[in-house]
Structure 1
Amino acid sequence: MNRRSRFLVPLAAVAASAALVLSGCTSSDGLASQYRAGTGQNYIAGDGTVTEFAAGSRGAAVDFSGKLADGTPVSSKDYAGDVLVVNFWYAGCPPCRVEAPFLESLYQKYKGDGVDFLGVNLYDTESTAASFEKDKGVTYPSVLDRDTGSVLLAFSKTVPPKATPTTLVIDKKGRVAARILGALPDASTLNSLISDAIAETN
C-alpha cells in the first residue's frame, strides 16, 4: 500500500534532495510479471511513495516544452488553467506496463472535465512508443524526450522524478501538487490526487 505523506517545505528544498535515478530494463511482458511477483531482478523502481505539496509551498509553475510522437509541439502553456497529470515512462519498463491501464482509465474518466494527461517517454523511438500505446490501449499523447531530455530537465529543477515510472499531478497554476514514485498499484490513489487538485481554488 502506498505511503502517503504531506510536505509543507518549499520545492527548492525537495529539488536539492537527490539526483535522478532512471533505471534501465529490457522490453518484455515477462518482466512485467516479474515486477508483479516482487522479485525485482535487474530492475530498480520507486516504492510507490506519494508526496503531496501544500499549495503555499509549491513554488513557481513548471515551464516545459517538447514534441509529441507525431512532431506536434507541446508546452506547459497548452495546459494553462487545467489540472495536468504527467507520467514518465518507457516501453521496456515493467511497472510502466502494469500501470498503463489505470492511467488510461483515469484519462477517460476525466477527459473533458479540465484534466489533461501527458506521457513523457524517456528512451523510446516513435515506433516503439506507438507499439506500446497500441498494445496497452493508451490514447493520451506522449512527448518523446530521449533526444533532448527537455521535459525531464524542466521537472527535475523542481520535483525530481527520481524513478521510472513517476507520475506528477500539476495544479491549475502549473505547479507540482503531488508526486507518485513508482507504479500505481491501482487507480484510486491518483484519482484522489486529481480530485483534490480539481477542488483547489488557490
Structure 2
Amino acid sequence: MPSHPVSPLPERRQVLRAAALLAAVIPLAACSKADDPLAEQARAGNGKNYIAGDGSVQEYGLETRGDPLDLNGTTYEGKHISADQLQGKVTVLNFWYAACAPCRLEAPHLSKLSKAFASKGVQFFGVNVRDEKATAAAFERTFKITYPSMPDADGSILLSMTEYVPPQAVPTTLVLDRQGRVAARLLGEADESTLKALISDLVSEPA
C-alpha cells in the first residue's frame, strides 16, 4: 500500500491552497433546493447527525499510489462492479448517504462533473453506506445524478478501503488513475473546482 507522505507539484499546492482560501471567504452557494433543511444545516456548520471529513485533500504521486483497489460491489440496479472495470479509465468513487448534509451540498457538483467528463472516458460510481434502494433513488432524482451507486450497508466495500476512507468520514471522494490506483482523496464535501482540477490532471496523464 502507498506510504502517506505526498509530494504534489508546486502548482498543485497553489491550486488547492487557492480553493481552500476561496472556501473560507466565500459563503456556500445554494447547491440544492432552498428549503432543504439538511443543506442548510451543513451551511450552518453545526454538524448534526453526521461525522464529516475535515475538508482535506491528499494527492498520491505516481511512486506512492500502490496497488489497484480491489473493488467488488453490485449497483442498486443489480450490475456487478469489479476491479476490472477500473482499468483503463479515470474513476471517481464517492461515499455518501441521503441524510448526510454535506453529501447533499456536493451532489450537484458531482452530477455536473460526471456529465462534463463523460466524453473523456471518466466514470463515476457512488458507494452508499446506509440507504435502501428507494431512498437512494429519491436522492438521485432530486440531484439529477445519472451514474450508478452500490449499496454498502454491510460495510464490505468500506472495509476494503479503510486505508483511504475513514469509516466515519462521509462523504469521502477517491479519484483513481487508469490503473485503478488511488491518486487523490477528498475528505468531506468535495469542492467542485478542486475535484475538477484533480480529474483533469489524471485525464492528462499518459495512458
Shorter-chain-normalised TM-score: which range?
A: 0.7 to 0.9
Q: 2:156 aligns with which of 150, 171, 192?
A: 150
Structure 1 counterpart of 2:206, one-letter code: T
Structure 2 counterpart of 1:73, one-letter code: H
161-170 or 122-131: bigger deviation = 161-170
Q: 1:11 aligns with which of 2, 6, 12?
A: 2
- 1:70 is matched with which residue? 77
Asked whether the 8 Å contact 1:89–1:164 carries over to 2, the reply is yes
What TM-score do the two structures reach when normalised by structure 2?
0.80
Distance 1:40 1:161 in 2: 17
Shift of 1:199: 1.5
What TM-score do the two structures reach when normalised by structure 1?
0.82
Shift of 1:129: 0.5
Distance 2:173 2:69 in 1: 15
- 1:61 is matched with which residue? 68
Structure 2 counterpart of 1:150, one-letter code: S
Structure 2 counterpart of 1:11, one-letter code: P
Asked whether the 8 Å contact 2:68–2:182 carries over to 1, the reply is yes
Asked whether the 8 Å contact 2:91–2:177 carries over to 1, the reply is yes
Distance change (3 Å), C-alpha of 1:70 and 1:161: same
1:182 partnered with 2:188: yes
Structure 1 counterpart of 2:157, one-letter code: V
Distance change (3 Å), C-alpha of 1:180 and 1:127: same
Asked whether the 8 Å contact 2:128–2:149 carries over to 1, the reply is yes
Shift of 1:189: 0.3
Distance 2:50 2:128 in 1: 18
Deviations 1:33-52 (A, max 9, x none): 01112222343211210000
Structure 2 counterpart of 1:179, one-letter code: R
1:171 partnered with 2:177: yes
Asked whether the 8 Å contact 1:100–1:136 carries over to 2, the reply is yes
- 2:199 is matched with which residue? 194
Distance 2:88 2:40 in 1: 39
Distance 2:69 2:170 in 1: 20
Distance 2:112 2:82 in 1: 24
Distance 1:177 1:66 in 2: 21
53-62 or 41-50: bigger deviation = 41-50
- 1:36 is matched with which residue? 43
What secondary structure does 1:44 align onto? coil
Distance 1:120 1:161 in 2: 14
Distance 2:196 2:4 in 1: 27
1:125 partnered with 2:132: yes
Q: CA RMSD in A?
A: 1.8
Identity %: 49
Deviations 1:11-38 (A, max 9, x none): 2558xxxxxxxxxxxxx93122011122
Distance 1:124 1:146 in 2: 7
Asked whether the 8 Å contact 1:11–1:159 carries over to 2, the reply is no
Distance 1:160 1:30 in 2: 27
Deviations 1:104-127 (A, max 9, x none): 000000013121000000000011
Asked whether the 8 Å contact 1:64–1:150 carries over to 2, the reply is no
Q: Which runs of 5+ in 2 are unaligned?
A: 6-34
